[in-house]
């Protein structure tokens, strides 16, 4: 296998890869040609992702596995599912999208993750982790009902396997005895001595046709023995396998465990897959890979090379924000508050780097808890801490908080527990697309009793609101966007804001422009153009109803603007309150349209949603034209 030390400066020469337009083309290649193809595929992946930016390390680690799966399975008739999708770039290259890969995550280009609309080889749309086994089991059961002998394989990473949903699916699959293959892509451990010679021997044995044939024949013989004898034989097999493999758990769940197998040994992978593909019942193949395999810098720093930015080939012409990242504001705040209050506990579901908790984890390791990809557990863990007088802060992306909604309601809000949710990536997120957009948090949070909900207009207000939520006695949420703020000066104080009080930024006439969070900056330009009053609402719950009542008397209409779904959002809260109070003032709610916005740059997404300044002004103009003339 060729090891690269730098990105190719130009498109590499890939004569074999250029002949692969669909997986069927792989099946005519010799073993030696497939090894050459693996090097070409890795070289092209390095080149194309450097052009486009995107998820990187995981794809390099599954080059051989991807080739082996598409060579062995009859895709797309056989179903192949990729968990999360970070590792699916080689899959996209081999399934007719090779020349499009440099467009990945760009407007009009390939999606960052597998999506059914993009290719019939993408059998299930993903973005959130730990869904593959459930979906694959559903496909296997549907095929069984239809009388189809179809293979279904789910590739899941060791990180994704930490989620409860994955184990729920494993438990169900064993009960159903479905024809399902689960491939664990384990890229967080090396093939060391404890899985060395004896383990390799045993893996070769249990993956051989002789062993599987004997195993199946033994089952038939055991069927005629008394139940105590059958149980004794099963236990003997499990204990023997358990001595040399980590698969006892999966055997107990009803799977035939095979592994660990070197995920970069292409001939061995194909041999093992060819053996188990025709076995009936649930199969579990444990594959060891290395994240960033074949690119020396990524192998040395897999976290750094999880994803890379797009190579800049032309000078930037768009203005760059002078502000710091919102996540960095949070990262500094939590360290400062932890220094002041020893009760603070920091919790993240596998988003230490993204949520900027690295400094906190190093300075306060005894108060830092990474629960892996387990959002439900993260929230209820915080609830348990709060019951005992701790002050937990849950750092979580908006899109991932959706996965813990029951716990948010039942375990935190219902009990009125003192938990602060620092909600990152609220609103549109650009190239990662609709699976990662935080489009709904204001809607699903606002309807929950006991919640304090805030959205900051800039970096300094983010720090103030985090302090406000932390000092508040009860559940609180601060939602802030991805990327940099507008450039406000961040003070080092840890004081809160008056709860439920807005801020008037501009006094105008007739139109009251009520802006929430990230929309304050573009709304300020619109307010100047229309000579409108501009209010930074700050609080979604509770609303500043005193200010609203004053504005309703002195203005002709209200315009609310938010980077959230209109249905049930902050503007809907304003409208509901006006109706309850009998204040009949024309009101327009502006927010994200009732659709999933496809991947593009964040600025292009905002423009498409008409949530940039020109778009907001156009929406207002169209609405004003509909109002009766007075």
Which are the catalytic amino acids? 291, 375, 403
Annotated ligand binding at 91? The verdict is: no
Contact 505, 520 (CB under 8 A): yes
Annotated ligand binding at 295? The verdict is: yes
Annotated ligand binding at 384? The verdict is: no
Is residue 370 helix, strand or coil?
strand
Name the helix (H) or strand (E) containing 444: helix 441-446
- What's the CA gap between 291 and 144, in Å, rounded? 35
Helix pair 164-176, 132-145: axis angle to 10 deg: 20
- What's the CA gap between 493 and 460, in Å, rounded? 10
Dihedral angle, C-alpha 141, 399, 58, 269, nearest 10 °: -10
- What's the CA gap between 630 and 613, in Å, rounded? 27
- 3-class secondary structure for 466-498? HHHHHHCCCCEEEECCCCECCCCCCCCCCCCCC
Beta strands in 71-125 (DSSP E): 79-82
Question: Which of 158, 136, 94 lies closest to 287, judged by CA?
Answer: 158
- What's the CA gap between 488 and 237, in Å, rounded? 65
Annotated ligand binding at 375? The verdict is: yes
Question: Which of 589, 563, 554, 564 lies closest to 574, judged by CA?
Answer: 589
Annotated ligand binding at 158? The verdict is: yes
Indicate the pairing of strand 54-55 with strand 307-308: antiparallel
- What's the CA gap between 122 and 452, in Å, rounded? 41
Annotated ligand binding at 323? The verdict is: no
Task: Give the contacts of 189 (CB within 8 A, at least 6 positions apart).
Answer: 158, 288
Cα-only R_g, the chain: 27
Annotated ligand binding at 160? The verdict is: yes
Task: Give the contacts of 26 (CB within 8 A, at least 6 positions apart).
Answer: 20, 34, 37, 67, 70, 71, 94
108 to 87, 105, 314, 436: CA distances (angstroms) = 21, 8, 20, 18
Number of CB atoms found within 10 A of residue 349's CB: 29
Contact 315, 360 (CB under 8 A): no
Annotated ligand binding at 589? The verdict is: no
Specify binding-site residues: 86, 127-129, 158-160, 187, 295, 375
Specify binding-site residues for Mg(2+): 158, 187
Specify binding-site residues for thiamine diphosphate: 86, 127-129, 159-160, 187, 295, 375
């Amino acid at each position: 296998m060729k090891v690269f030390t730098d990105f190719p400066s130009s498109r590499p020469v890939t004569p074999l890869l250029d002949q692969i337009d669909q997986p069927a083309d792989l099946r005519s290649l010799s073993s030696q040609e497939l090894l050459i193809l693996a090097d070409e595929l890795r070289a092209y992946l390095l080149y194309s992702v450097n052009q486009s930016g995107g998820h990187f390390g995981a794809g390099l680690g599954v080059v051989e596995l991807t080739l082996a799966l598409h060579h062995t399975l009859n895709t797309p008739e056989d179903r192949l599912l990729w968990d999360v999708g970070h590792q699916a770039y080689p899959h996209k290259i081999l399934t007719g999208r090779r020349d499009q890969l440099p467009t990945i995550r760009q407007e009009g280009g390939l999606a960052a993750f597998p999506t059914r609309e993009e290719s019939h080889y993408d059998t299930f749309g993903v973005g959130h982790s730990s869904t593959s086994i459930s979906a694959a089991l559903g496909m296997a059961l549907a095929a069984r009902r239809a009388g189809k002998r179809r293979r279904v394989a789910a590739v899941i990473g060791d990180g994704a396997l930490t989620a409860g949903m994955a184990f729920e699916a494993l438990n169900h699959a064993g009960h159903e005895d479905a024809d399902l293959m689960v491939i664990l892509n384990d890229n967080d451990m090396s093939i060391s001595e404890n899985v060395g010679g004896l383990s390799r021997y045993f893996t070769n044995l249990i993956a051989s046709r002789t062993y599987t044939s004997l195993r199946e024949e033994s089952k038939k013989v055991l069927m005629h023995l008394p139940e105590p004898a059958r149980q004794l034989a099963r236990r003997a097999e499990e204990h023997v396998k358990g001595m040399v493999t980590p698969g006892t758990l999966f055997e107990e769940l009803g799977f035939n465990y095979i592994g660990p197998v070197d995920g970069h040994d292409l001939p061995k992978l194909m041999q093992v897959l060819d053996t188990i593909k025709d076995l009936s019942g649930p199969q579990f193949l444990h594959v060891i890979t290395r994240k960033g395999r074949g690119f020396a810098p990524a192998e040395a720093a897999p976290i750094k090379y999880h994803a890379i930015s797009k190579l800049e080939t032309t000078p930037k012409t768009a203005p760059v924000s002078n502000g710091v990242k919102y996540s960095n504001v949070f990262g500094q705040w939590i360290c400062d508050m932890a220094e002041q209050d020893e009760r603070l506990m920091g919790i993240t579901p596998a988003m230490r780097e993204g949520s900027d908790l690295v400094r906190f984890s190093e300075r306060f390791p005894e108060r830092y808890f990474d629960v892996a990809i387990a959002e439900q557990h993260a929230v209820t863990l915080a609830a348990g801490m709060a019951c005992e007088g701790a002050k937990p802060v849950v750092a979580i992306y908006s899109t991932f908080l959706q996965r813990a909604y029951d716990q948010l309601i039942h375990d935190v809000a219902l009990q009125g527990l003192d938990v602060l949710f620092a909600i990152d990536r609220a609103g549109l997120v650009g190239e990662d697309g609709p699976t990662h957009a935080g489009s709904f948090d204001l809607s699903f949070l606002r309807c929950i009793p006991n919640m304090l909900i805030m959205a900051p207009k800039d970096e300094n207000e983010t720090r103030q609101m985090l302090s406000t939520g932390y000092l508040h006695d009860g559940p609180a949420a601060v939602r802030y966007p991805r990327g940099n703020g507008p450039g406000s000066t961040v003070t080092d104080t840890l004081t809160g804001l008056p709860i439920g009080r807005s801020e008037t930024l501009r006094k105008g006439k007739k139109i009251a422009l009520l802006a929430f969070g990230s929309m304050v900056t573009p709304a300020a330009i619109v307010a100047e153009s229309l000579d409108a009053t501009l209010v930074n609402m700050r609080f979604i719950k509770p609303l500043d109803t005193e200010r609203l009542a004053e504005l309703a008397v002195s203005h002709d209409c209200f315009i609310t603007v938010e980077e959230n779904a209109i249905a049930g959002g902050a503007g809907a809260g304003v409208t509901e309150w006006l109706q309850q109070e009998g204040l009949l003032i024309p009101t327009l709610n502006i927010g994200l349209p009732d659709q999933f916005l496809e991947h593009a740059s964040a600025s292009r997404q905002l423009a498409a949603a008409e949530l940039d300044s020109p778009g907001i002004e156009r929406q207002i103009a169209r609405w004003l034209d509909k109002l009766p003339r007075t």
